[in-house]
Structure formats: structure tokens, C-alpha cells
Amino acid sequence: MSTTFWIILAGAIATYLTRVGGHLVISRFENIHPRVEAGLNAVPAAVLTTLVAPAVLGAGPAEWAALVVTALVSLRGGLMSMFLAGAAVLIIARQFVG
Amino acid sequence: MVTEAISESRTGGDFWDGVRLSMPVVVASAPFAILFGAIAVDNGFSVLEAFLMSALIFGGASQMVGIELFGQHVAPWLIVLSIFAVNFRHVLYSAGIGRRIAHWPLLQQALGYFILTDPQFAVAEARAVSGKPVGFVWYLGLGLPVYVFWVIESGLGAVFGKLIPDTHALGIDFLLPIYFLGLVLGFRKRPLWLPVVAASAAASIIAYKTVGSPWHVSIGAVAGVLLAVILPPHHSGIGERP
């Protein structure tokens, strides 16, 4: 078995642990401390931001234009429309900026 | 016998109700499944490995992060840890949905948690809040099409991704930050969203420059979460209800 296979298998087990783990932990407690709940509520924004921020810093004008359009479309549209708008701007801008 | 027939037809109706709700998710996730397959092969995965990763992990963002780090020749244990870190948000969903499905038989619960993705949680939670029961058959109707299409389209992307000629011109290398920005903005109505995003962004950029990838993900995430923990809970909209 290749290293890649073991990475996939271990990643699958780790992922399943996150999907079942919250229930297993919470079902042991009668009440959740408000600060723990606040921390858990912040997890999605906190994690996803870290996947964007360093990429934004290292990007150029074409990428920045795409991100600005993505953010603007997000005010009205859903995830799909904002993604398509951002991707379209990126592809067009790269024809000029490279 | 009559009762049996009725409950059977209801079960079938529940399944197709779930399938109908799954269709927007199937359509929206299709480009990402194909993109995943293409990037995976581009970063050194075989077609079978790309297919397996989608079938066993079934988590788009974490799969993308995993192959990105794999392409950068990061140590295997760090790749697995990063997949765990990206998927850590599912702990929330798991804790939330547990109340709705605790009455299912154990094997059904085990399968239910396996397909617990972002939209699966959102749609199931909405159904529970509206007062309807979250049954296993309905839940499976919602999740199964998403899973089947995700795995098949990943394989297609892996096979045909090589045909994409100039990935830079097509912007494929930067589509993910755009997608993740979209996800971040999708949570913008949550209390404390802006402070958490600001803290995580600052911490992840500093960590990226000093400690390096992929630690910036965990360090940035911890900074945002800690901020929410340290601030008095009423800032998070918790404890407002009597």
C-alpha cells in the first residue's frame, strides 16, 4: 500500500471522528458552558478564514479583483453565483494581467 | 397488512422528498468535485486515489487542502492533521444533529454521521426546527445523491482534468480561495463574525510568514475561537433567551 493510500485512510478516520465526535462528547454533558458554545460557534468562520487570508496576501491584481467581486456578489447572491462571478472575473483579468 | 402498505409508501415518499432537496446541492457541488479530481491528479494522485479520497473522506474543503499540501510534499502526518483541522467544524454539526437522530438504530446513526456535510446539516436542522421528524429514510434521500455524484464526478475530473490545457489562464489555482471566501461570507450573519474573521486572518498571516504552512490554519483558527471564548458570552448571542 502506498503512502498516499494511508494518508487517505487516516484522513477518512480523522474526518469521521469529527462527524461523530461532537455528538459523542455533547451527549455526555447535561449542559454546555456558554463560553464553549461561543467558541464552537466561531469555528467555521475562524477555520475558513485561515484558508483565504495568506492566499490574498500573496496574490496580484487579477486575484484581488476576483475576491472583491466575490465579496460584492455575496451581499445578494448564493454561494454558487458568487463563486461563478469571482471565477469569471479571475479568468478575464488574467488574460490581461497574467 | 394495510398499515404496512401505508407505512411503506410513506417511507418511499420520504426518500424522494429528501432526493428533491438534495438536487441544488448536487448541482452546486459538481464543479468542485470535477475540480478536485483535476487538481488531485495535477498534484500527483492517481485516478483511483482521487476516487478513493472522495469516497472515504467526502469533505470537499478538506480534500482540497489535503491534495494542496500533498503537492507541496508536506509530511503525511501533517496532511492528516490538516484534514482533521479543516473538518473540525463537523464537531459542531455532530453535536447539533445528535439530538434529532439519537432515536435511530445505531448502524443508521453511524451511517448518518458519515454523510454529515455542511448542507446535510443545514437542511436536516431546518426540517427539525420546522417540527417535522428527521427520519433515516428522508435523511438518506437527502445525502445519498450528493455522495454518489460527488464520488463519480471526482473520478471524471481525475480522468479528464488532464485535458484542461492552461490551468493558470483558467484560474484553477486560485478558485479555492474564492470558494473559501464565499463560505466565510456565508457565515457573516453570525454574532462576532467580523472580530473572529479579523483575528483568524491576522493570526494565520503571521503564522504563515513565521511558522509556515500548514500550521497557519490551526494557529489562525485557534486565535478566532479563543477570541469568542474570552469575550463575555452575550457578545456571541448566547444566553439572551430566558
Report pLDDT digits (tens) over B153-212: 999 999 998 776 666 777 767 877 887 788 788 778 778 899 999 999 999 999 999 988
- Do B92 and B170 belong to one domain? yes
* B73, B12: one domain: yes
Q: Rounded to whole angstroms, how far apart are CA atoms A26 and B222?
A: 20
**Contact between residue B21 and residue B125 where contact means Cβ atoms under 8 Å apart:** no
Does one domain contain both B154 and B195?
no
Residues B84 and B194 in one domain: no
Retrieve residue B94's grid coordinates: 455532530
| Residues of chain A found within 8 Å of residue B102, distances taken between Cβ atoms | 23, 27
Domain boundary among B168, B186, B204: B186
Q: Are B50 and B40 in contact (CB under 8 A)?
A: yes
HEC readout, chain A: CCHHHHHHHHHHHHHHHHHHHHHHHHCCCCCCCHHHHHHHHHHHHHHHHHHHHHHHHCCCHHHHHHHHHHHHHHCCCCHHHHHHHHHHHHHHHHHHHC
Number of domains in chain B: 2
Mutate to test the interface with A, among B80, B111, B175, B222 (most CBs of A within 10 A): B80
Query: Above 80 in pLDDT, residue A75?
Result: yes
Range of the structural domain that residue B231 is part of: 189-242
| Count of CB atoms situated within 10 Å of the CB of B27 | 11
Tell whether B57 and B128 lie within a shared domain. Answer: yes
- pLDDT category, B214, cuts 50, 70, 90? low
Q: In B, which residues are within 8 Å of A20 by CB distance?
A: 94, 110, 113
Both B133 and B105 in one domain: the answer is yes
Please tell me which of the candidates A24, A37, A95 has its beta carbon nearest to residue B238.
Answer: A37
The answer to whether residues B57 and B153 belong to one domain is yes
Same domain, B155 and B232: no
| Other Cβ atoms within 10 Å of A37 Cβ, number | 20
How much is the pLDDT for B142?
Answer: 94
Q: CB of B200 within 8 A of CB of B221?
A: yes
